[in-house]
Amino acid sequence: MALTDSPGATLSGAALHLGAPSTRGRQLPAALILVVLAFAAVWPAAAFSQDVAPQPAPSSSPAPTATAAPPPEAITAQPTPAPTPAPAPAPAEQVELVKPAILTNARIARWAFLERSTVARAEPSRTARKVAFLSRLTPERTQNLVLILERVNVGGQLWLRVRLPVLPNNSTGWLPRTAISGYETVQTHLYVDTKRFKLQLKRLNRTIFTARIGVGRKKWPTPTGEFYVRNVLRGFKDPVYGPVAFGTSARSAVLTDWPGGGFIGIHGTNKPGLLPGRVSHGCIRLRNRDILRLAKLMPVGTPVTVR
């Protein structure tokens, strides 16, 4: 049929037929032709609109230029958030350590009574290792005392390094300043020569007294080292000790089972003919007249050096 093959020819023919005079019977086919032509014009446009997206009207502005995608290696990966670090431990408390002050030397020594029983430590700290337990009283029931070697300020607290009346001999330890009384000062120093059987007392480094002595036998030797005088005792019922005895911080390393722990004393004797020599269980013996004289010159707290 010519309508589908050549729409333009058909329109021309339709117009031609409409404009020609005709009878009533011949006008009906012309009307049908118009209806068919109208349907044919609308149907393709409707069918096309369902399959193809409408194209936008041309614009006067330049078309946007497409941007090439970056190559894969140029793409920067988003970094993975780092895990939140655990809070750092609180820093240890900073301890202010002031240079130690020397309190005892060859000329002057300082000592103090214990105000209470206390623990001596290896370092000036309440958490340091325990070195010894010090009772407020000695085995002779006198108030205990310590020779003070130096003082140090640790974090605002004063600590004292002291000589200890414990084994092994020559031990030292640290005590808090609050554990002792006020300082006492002495200017004397006692020197004992166990080889020459000689005792020498000095004041401000000047000799003020000497005496011949007896010391411990070889199996009970008098301990050597640095010690101090802890107390002065009188009124003994047994004349073996003489009229006066000084208790020291030295202790026998072999007679530890003696009453009181085997402390070494400096005392008189009821057998002066045995002196000088190795005659005792470790104590230092003087003739009674010499010990009485020494008692007038040597106060408690006096340092004792035994060689």
User: What residues are labeled active site?
Assistant: 267, 283
The answer to whether 148 and 183 are in contact (CB under 8 A) is yes
Between CA 285 and CA 270 the distance in angstroms is 10
C-alpha atoms less than 13 angstroms from C-alpha of 131 in its C-beta half-sphere: 23
φ/ψ bin of 240: left (φ > 0), alpha (ψ from -120 to 50), beta (otherwise): alpha
- For residue 44, the tally of other CB atoms under 10 A from its CB is 9
Structure-token match 């031990």, residue found:
171
Coil vs helix vs strand at 57? coil
Between CA 1 and CA 40 the distance in angstroms is 13
- The crossing angle, in degrees rounded to 10, of helices 24-51 and 7-19 is 150
The answer to whether 30 and 14 are in contact (CB under 8 A) is yes
- For residue 28, the tally of other CB atoms under 10 A from its CB is 11
Number of residues in the chain? 307
Between CA 208 and CA 287 the distance in angstroms is 17
